[in-house]
Structure 1
Amino acid sequence: MTNVYSFDGILVFGLLFICTCAYFKKVPRLNSWLLSEKKGVWGVFYKAAVIGTRLHISVAICCVVMAFYLIFLK
């Protein structure tokens, strides 16, 4: 179990946030509702979705590496 206050927890949270926002971008109803703003606090969701869709290979590799680290090394 990782906590949010450790560096591992922050990395896991960031990866899951990027993956979730990229998934929201593929769902039409959630895309128009959650990712319509590009600036401000709600713009963080949009920017995470853009990172997730443009760098999907890198994000997937980071998720696999983080899962391997959390399961076997920690």
Structure 2
Amino acid sequence: MTNAYSFDGLLVFSLLVICTCAYMSRIPRLKQWFLSEKKGFLGVFYKASVIGTRLHIPVALTCVLMGVYVLLLK
């Protein structure tokens, strides 16, 4: 039986959110529309885009390691 909530699933989800928001911050129309709020619930997406752009090398390495984990070890 599998767990509905697992730590590795949470890591994969957070990495996907960070990578998606960092990509959307590079597109001007999406940046104005989606990442303009810096506080509140939508501020989480703004903060994720900042993490993705400033820490792009560790985020990319973590994505590769998570991919290897999911494909080979899990």
Q: CA deviation at 1:21?
A: 0.2
Q: Distance in 2 between matches of 1:65 and 1:3?
A: 22
Structure 1 gap segments, 5+ residues each = none
Q: CA deviation at 1:70?
A: 0.6
- Does 2:55 match 1:55? yes
Deviations 1:8-41 (A, max 9, x none): 1100000000000000100110000010010111
* TM norm structure 2: 0.93
Structure 2 gap segments, 5+ residues each = none
* TM norm structure 1: 0.93
| Structure 1 segments of 4+ aligned residues over 3 angstroms from their partners | none
Give aligned-pair identity as a percent.
68
